[in-house]
Structure 1
Amino acid sequence: MRAQDIFWSGNIKYLRLRQKLSQETLSEKLGITRVKLNAHESGRTANPTIDDLINFSEFFRMSIDSLLKIDLTKLSEQKMKDLELGSELFMKGDNIRVLAITVDKDEKENVEYVPIKAKAGYRSGFSDPEFLATLPKFNLPNLPRNGTFRMFPTIGDSMLPVPEGSDIITRYIQDWTKVKDETPCIVILKGEQDFVFKQVTINRDGTMLLQSFNKQYFAYTVPVSEVLELWEYYSFHSRQLPEPQTDMQQLMKMLQEMQQEVKELRGKK
């Protein structure tokens, strides 16, 4: 790419001013010096590091591709809002979400297990191959060849009917635009928030609706920019036998089946 085609410096300054932030304030939020920020904005940093690319991208909720290749100062206000609320580039994740993996001696991908004690470290080390190398890893038979799999533990009863203490086997989702409504996923959130196992629906306003399987828990939304990774449910492992269905549960199941049949009949008319 030619130097005149890179809009990094102008975009960083434009986004800072757009949020009415001083260089001092933004540098504090990003955890860098004001001198370094000024170097980015003035064009003296010709080749930003990967850490800087990710840092600015996550803060401004812009894909790295957009920050580098698009002159944001030329875009309409609506287009800017679309990008900030979860642009297609961000949702597809091709240029922002880097998946680290480990392989065995035969170059076959391992299934890493993230134990409870490693959950806090995972949020900061999920893209670091050295951190992943410290996790327990194994191979499972009959897993599809097309995909990267990881196992996460569950805690609490918000995942019912999946028993508490089960281990969820999941497949990595790179492109969030293909997530169907109410897809069961392990959601890796930023900050001090925990991993959650929820039914995920991605809204058009750039938020993600997270619904518990246990209906006693309220659903809530988070900005897509607060999500680090999505892992789609594949199966679960548990030593606990499922509880037999109660009469009420069986009745509810019958009603749901009847509602589905009525819906299908109406669709054929």
Structure 2
Amino acid sequence: MADQLAVQRTMISAYEDGRSEPKLLTLKKLSDMLEVGVEELLEHDIEKLGRRAIQKRKLNILTIATDANDNENITMVPQKASAGYLNGFADPEYIEELPQFHLPNLPKNATYRAFELAGDSMLPLIPGTIVIGEYVDQLTNIKSGKTYVLVTQTEGVVYKRVFNYLSENGKLFLVSDNEHYKPFEVKGEDVLEVWESKAFISTDFPNPGDKKKSLTLEDLGEMIKDIQADLRRIKG
């Protein structure tokens, strides 16, 4: 560590004992070595609260497809391709093989991707519905209560309502609009891509006589509080 920081070995002991404080350049080198943000290194109690998801993240290069006029296409990820997408999302050749299309009336200053839903966890959107998401480059930009498509190492490609607890415990809380499915947590470091839902395409037309009860954000918030209280009791 002393060699990598370009300081004397005795200086490392001085840092540990509190007899000396590293200079800003040394702090930057140290945070790079430990792969954490400077803010986390200085202010976050890792021993008590665990690692934060807003630690330094490797830069993701987003692979996109364009048409003959160099306009971005919307790449569609069908249900059958979702498993392969985990390995191929950064591969230009893989992305080019997926279906491409355009949609009018979407802002031009963003990148979009379409994902075909599987299962009924997000009713009233039925299986086969295509959700169009706008790329979110920073996890900290996730807004609690909004719906997102998350590409994760642990859960695969999922479409859920997300509650952001990254600054507290480094995790995202994922909730289904269908109350028969249990919420679950995902670590920030396991998230590969985030797409904020902006539109959807469905062959299912709404029936005015079908008055299914839908959960409100207040209902979901209370559910999360109850689950977190249960987890604290179990840990206790």
State the TM-score, normalized to the length of structure 1. 0.60
Q: Could you tell me the percent identity over the aligned residues?
A: 33
Q: Secondary structure at the match of 2:207?
A: coil
User: 1-side partners of 2:74 and 2:205: how far apart?
Assistant: 24
Q: What's the counterpart of residue 134 of structure 2?
A: 171
Q: What's the counterpart of residue 26 of structure 1?
A: none
Asked if 1:212 is matched to 2:176, the reply is yes
User: 2-side partners of 1:230 and 1:199: how far apart?
Assistant: 12
Q: What's the counterpart of residue 240 of structure 1?
A: 204
Asked if 1:197 is matched to 2:163, the reply is no
Q: Shift of the alpha carbon at 1:175?
A: 1.5
Q: What's the counterpart of residue 227 of structure 1?
A: 191
Q: CA RMSD for the aligned pairs?
A: 3.3
Deviation by residue 1:46-80 (Cα, 9 ceiling, x = unmatched): xxxxxxxxxxxxxxxxxxx83488899xx579565
Structure with more strand by fraction: 2
Q: Shift of the alpha carbon at 1:5?
A: 10
CA contact (8 A) 2:54 2:139 kept: no
Q: What's the counterpart of residue 140 of structure 1?
A: 103
Aligned length: 187
Q: What's the counterpart of residue 143 of structure 2?
A: 180
CA contact (8 A) 2:150 2:158 kept: yes
Q: What's the counterpart of residue 50 of structure 1?
A: none
Q: Shift of the alpha carbon at 1:219?
A: 1.0
Q: Shift of the alpha carbon at 1:98?
A: 2.1
- Pairing of 1:69-88 with structure 2 (within 5 A): 78=44, 84-88=51-55
User: 1-side partners of 2:32 and 2:132: how far apart?
Assistant: 33
Q: Shift of the alpha carbon at 1:187?
A: 1.1
User: 1-side partners of 2:56 and 2:114: how far apart?
Assistant: 27
CA contact (8 A) 2:131 2:200 kept: yes
Structure with more helix by fraction: 1
CA contact (8 A) 2:35 2:55 kept: no
Deviation by residue 1:211-262 (Cα, 9 ceiling, x = unmatched): 0011221111111111111111011101111233556749x99xx9xxxxxx
**Cα gap change, 1:183 to 1:6, in 2 (>3 Å):** farther
User: 2-side partners of 1:111 and 1:248: how far apart?
Assistant: 32
Asked if 1:104 is matched to 2:63, the reply is no
**Cα gap change, 1:70 to 1:242, in 2 (>3 Å):** closer
**Cα gap change, 1:115 to 1:232, in 2 (>3 Å):** same
Q: Secondary structure at the match of 2:65?
A: coil
User: 2-side partners of 1:71 and 1:5: how far apart?
Assistant: 21
5+ long unaligned stretches in structure 1: 8-64, 257-269
CA contact (8 A) 1:157 1:163 kept: yes
CA contact (8 A) 1:155 1:165 kept: yes
Asked if 1:162 is matched to 2:101, the reply is no
Deviation by residue 1:82-107 (Cα, 9 ceiling, x = unmatched): 783313543xxxx4322111111111
CA contact (8 A) 2:133 2:197 kept: yes
State the TM-score, normalized to the length of structure 2. 0.68
Q: Shift of the alpha carbon at 1:134?
A: 1.0
Q: What's the counterpart of residue 88 of structure 2?
A: 125
CA contact (8 A) 2:77 2:114 kept: yes
* AA of the residue aligned to 1:147: A
